[in-house]
A and B are shown apart, each in its own frame.
Chain A
Amino acid sequence: MQPDFVLEALIFAPIISFPLIYLISRITLRITAKKGTPINPSRWLALVVMLALLIPLSFALNHFINEGSFFTTIGTIELQMDGISVLLTTIVILMSLLIILFSGDYMKGEVGEEKYYAMLVGMVGLVIGLSTASDLFNLWIWFEAMAITPYVLVAFYHDRAPVLEAGVKYLIQSAVGTMLVLIGIMIVFMQTGTLYMPSLNAINIQNNPALIVAGILFIIGFGVKSALFPMHTWLPDAHSQAPSGISALLSGVVIEAGLITMIRTLDMVSGAFAQAGTILIVISALNLLFGNLLALRQNQIKRMLAFSSIAHMGYIVLGVGITMTSGNINGAQGGFFHIFNHAIMKGLAFMSIGTLMYSLTATKKNAHDPLTLDDMNGLAKRFPFLGICLSIGLLSLAGIPPLAGFVSKWQIFIAGFETHDPFIIGIVIFAAINSVISLAYYAPIINRMYRLTPSPYNMKAKAITPFMKIVLSILTIATVVIGFYPTLLNWLTEPAANVILTAFWHS
């Protein structure tokens, strides 16, 4: 397959499927409802599309490994697949596939099920497009388009007040963010006369205070989407009120997509805004502080995991910031490695919790009550498999070897020490201390699961479905394998890190 065709297939196949899945499902529902039992084929359609996407993905990876970046042009718009795009594309396709498999039983029979799958598939295409944009305005359009899908998905259970509140907060805060980004783009255009990202690198833009303001606007604007402090306040509500598969997708892909878009725009103004790295490192420390300490006080599990996502964004941003300030590739490589690992670990954690919520719906008094710590009591007795999967997910998030979370944190920390900069080393030590503090909220969940006296309705919960077991097994095995064999993903993370390196340290 020609590389440009592959790229177009990756982006437009899901985008075109987006309305098609919705229409076909609605029509099928109408027809079958009249005849008897309504059948909703949306989950199977979505599954087919995602499986089909694996074909162009493998072509793209193959081409990228052998020949490097490639691009395609549609009219005047150029879309380029480089290291960062490949990483994000791989993560979004694999995670969405697993989430669609998981959601099959979870979302069965819900009102608006076809909207769910249509939006999910649409999001995949839009995220891939976002990662390949090479023009600032085009980037902004993709970003706005991609942002629509999670609004709808977060507010899926729209007849419940807390869910709507979460959705509205997410929407309005994101809108503020993208408006700030637009102002930033306007400033860049005014100062340099071009929006084409590769050529921005060549223009000498040092000592330009307007571009520094643009850079700050990018950090704050995209920082809303990637939950950096102090723009993170929407995340605990949104990630805890969304359906569990969407929480996994949000924590694993969407906030990282926001960060990656930020990195792209900062790369462009890196000539004028060299302090970007230091600012990101300071923000990462605040993310770690707020994320971990606030998670300590949570009683609801999904909210706790949401705060933990804020903390993990701290690790990722720390790694990226280290490379921006010091030119050490291990920082960004560790950061991208952590993006991949976080998607897997957080996906495992959220989907385990989702499995539990699914099983408990029949027995809990109010099916929509959030899952609390007390509900975890004695879980392992009824669901031994789930107990192991969730334990591995939580231990990996806490950074216990030999699991995935540990090795990516190791890479980030060692990069910090290699800079020989006392300030950065101090922040790395702070991050390590935070990793230990996070044990204080992850470990008690495991302790509760292995109690002998179960919570009242745990023993009557319904069994886990095979699809859920398959998804959880895949994620658990991935967590352990990556932990044992950390260099497995070097081919994916190194090119991505190189993009940042060349932008900030022109070689």
Chain B
Amino acid sequence: MKNAQSILILFVILFPWLGAIIIVAFRQNKEKGQHWLASAISLLTALAAWLLLFFNNTLIISIPLGGIFGNIEFVSDGLAILLVIIATSIGSLAILFSTSYMKGESQLSRYYSLILLFIGSMTGLVLSSNIFYLFVFWEMTAFCSYALISFYNDDPKAVRGGMKAFIITQLGGIGLLIGIMMIYADINTLSIPEILQSAATLPTLTLQIAGFGFLVAAAAKSAQVPLHTWLPDAMEAPTPISALIHAATMVNAGVYLLVRFYPTFKAVPGWNMTIIIIACLTSLLAAIMASVAFDLKRVLAYSTISQLGYMVYAIGVGGLFSSQFHLLSHAIFKTLLFLSAGAIIHSLGTRDMRLMGGLNKKMPFIRNVFIIGSLSLSGIPFLSGFWSKESVLEHGLEHGPLWAYTIMLITAGLTAYYTIRCVWMVFFGESRSHMQPHKISSMMKTTLTPLALGSLTTWLLAGPLSKFLQSSMPFHHFHTYSFWEPFLSVLTNPYTYLTLAVIVVAIFGFFRVKKMKGLIHEVRGIIGFAEKGLGFDELNKVFVTPTLWLAEGLRYTQTGILNWNIFGILLGLLFLISAVLLGGI
């Protein structure tokens, strides 16, 4: 049994990589083969991931390298298997969708090999039981994300978006690096179970620095304020990539990191509160920005940032199960929304919602699945989003500060607002574009259907999921529920109805606002500011501009004149001698 499990674990990591190499070896002109091969590889990987459900957790030590690189260790516990299944299943759906969406594009071998490389790296990230390898896979997913965002290399916006994502997530990764190395310097191990065990023995300073370092890395990866600016610009990627990487899998890596190391850092003073503050700020601001954006994918991007804020908020208040439950339902409905948006954009040739409208009659299938996704996102009963969001809010009210709950409640209202706005602008009203949408291919319908069904039904797994998570994770505390418990507790909680009331108000508000042209005119200054990202991009410039200015200034040291070069040598000599002998280093 152990052997079969080891093989499955290594399979879900290495088989996609093998697939990536095979696809690169395929020539460019064999397009059909590439679609077919990528789909087959991803489906087999997803199958292996589902099979892992039937095994209990086991530690697999592959190669003891020892020392500063640690041993290659993987453990397939509940948290890992949940994310592996999400990554591989949604990965397969995204690839299947791509076979239709990316038909006729060039450099498909690069596209598919990068997606497969990403899937393998993501599964490796969550399965790693050695924090060095977690970091390795972390960086690899960042690379795949960059390469796929800038897939259309001829488009300068795409390349800029890719570079921005790469640099911001890598700088965040330094936080993770610092944390890992500080921990290693104290307890000399890179094994995650050992780190979780020794939370009590680590010196306070190490815990504080590592805790906040990990938080910075998680915030960068999961696009939390103020490191969120890369995600909207990452929408230049092909839409299946936006669905897979920037909605359902890679951005969850930050949430995963926080959950995985929660037992170690939960006692660090200020850590929980910082998480709550960041999460609330992120959710609210992202929801505001989504309410004024006109680019369909940007609305969904801001929505992702906002929902990730919910997951992080849940962690901050100690609701680990709620955060994972919301992660699961969000992955499904956000992928659904993104892929449908992809179908719309592909048909109409535009991403601007002001040029859409009236698709109600023209794209009935997409309208249906998009509305299902939207209902789930807004938290309308009885879809997955409703149950998971209420679970988060309930836990937050019980265990977190009241002001945080209030902000998240308001955000729930805003979520409903921007969602209905989005649905209205795209599907209803007058048709504002001359474009005739072409028929959706059957492959697109085939991939969207399971996602829609998932949004309708995944909530039923709540109880079993909680038991699954708790049973395999000895260091963590997940609330466990019996089958009906989560639903009963939500339905009997009076605050649930408060949330629903807020949502209803928001929806009515939308229809009112459409009529209040005057009011909109007044606040157009604020709206304009929100459209430009509330000033956070300016914050980025605070770092980039001085660096470039310094680089340009330092060019003067390369004078090109030999005498100055030699002067530099002698100056160095004089400086060192005086510093050491007179200054006393």
Contacts and interface: CB of A to CB of B under 8 A. Distances in A.
Interface string A261-303: 0000000000000010011000000000110011011000000
A141 interface: no
A406 B67 CA distance: 16
A365 B571 CA distance: 43
B523 interface: no
Interface stretch (A84-92, A186-194, A208-216): A208-216
B167 A439 contact: yes
A231 interface: yes
Contacts of B174: 429, 432-433, 436
A64 interface: no
A417 B187 CA distance: 12
A323 interface: no
Q: How large is the interface on B (under 10, 10 to 19, 20 to 34, 35 or more residues)?
A: 35 or more
B585 A296 contact: no
A391 to B, nearest CB: 9
Nearest to B188: A418
Give the residue among A168, A224, A330 with the most B Cβ atoms within 10 A: A224
Interface stretch (B194-202, B331-339, B345-353, B574-582): B574-582
A452 interface: yes
A417 B470 CA distance: 35
A469 interface: no
Contact of B573 (A169, A180, A279, A395): A180
A38 interface: no
B106 A452 contact: yes
A402 B576 CA distance: 39
B360 interface: no
Contacts of A177: 569
A400 interface: yes
A216 B573 contact: yes
A217 B68 contact: no
B476 interface: no
A455 B300 CA distance: 37
Given A172-B566, A436-B167, A487 B580 contact: no
A414 B24 contact: no
B467 interface: no
Nearest to A483: B136
Interface in A400-420: 400-402, 406-407, 410-411, 413-414, 416-418, 420
A275 B576 CA distance: 11
A388 interface: yes
B159 A444 contact: yes
Interface in B166-188: 166-167, 170-171, 173-174, 177-178, 181-182, 184-185
Contacts of B171: 433, 436
B150 A439 contact: no
B292 to A, nearest CB: 31
Give the residue among B139, B150, B576 with the most A Cβ atoms within 10 A: B576
B550 interface: yes
A213 B585 contact: no
Nearest to A295: B551
Contacts of A51: none
Interface stretch (B362-370, B401-409, B553-561): B553-561
A432 B180 CA distance: 13
Nearest to A307: B558
Given A209-B581, A224-B569, A168 B562 contact: yes
Interface of A is mostly: helix
Given A401-B140, A417-B184, A444-B159, A219 B576 contact: yes
Given A172-B562, A233-B558, A279-B576, A417 B150 contact: no
Contact of B557 (A233, A439, A443): A233
B210 to A, nearest CB: 11
Interface string A159-173: 000000000110011
B153 A447 contact: yes
B14 to A, nearest CB: 11
A440 interface: yes
Given A417-B181, A433-B174, A443-B163, A212 B580 contact: yes
A443 B166 contact: yes
B577 A294 contact: no
B379 interface: no
Give the residue among B135, B146, B153 with the most A Cβ atoms within 10 A: B153
B573 A450 contact: no
A414 B166 contact: no
Given A169-B565, A230-B569, A414 B181 contact: yes
B68 A297 contact: no
A437 interface: yes
B440 to A, nearest CB: 27
A234 B565 contact: yes
Interface string A473-498: 00000000000001100000000000
Given A290-B557, A450-B153, A413 B181 contact: yes
Interface of A: 168-169, 172-173, 176-177, 180, 209, 212-213, 216-217, 219-220, 223-224, 229-231, 233-234, 236-237, 275, 278-279, 289-290, 293-294, 296-297, 330, 388, 395, 400-402, 406-407, 410-411, 413-414, 416-418, 420, 428-429, 432-433, 436-437, 439-440, 443-444, 447-448, 450-453, 486-487
Given A176-B566, A296-B547, A407-B69, 10 more contacts: A169-B565, A220-B573, A233-B559, A279-B585, A290-B557, A293-B550, A294-B558, A401-B140, A420-B185, A443-B166
Q: What are the 9 A-B residue pairs with the smallest beta carbon separation, nearest first?
A: A417-B181, A293-B551, A401-B136, A233-B565, A230-B568, A436-B170, A417-B185, A451-B153, A230-B572
Interface of B: 24, 65-69, 106-107, 110, 132, 135-136, 139-140, 143, 146, 150, 153-154, 159, 162-163, 166-167, 170-171, 173-174, 177-178, 181-182, 184-185, 547-548, 550-552, 554-555, 557-560, 562, 564-566, 568-573, 576-577, 580-581, 585
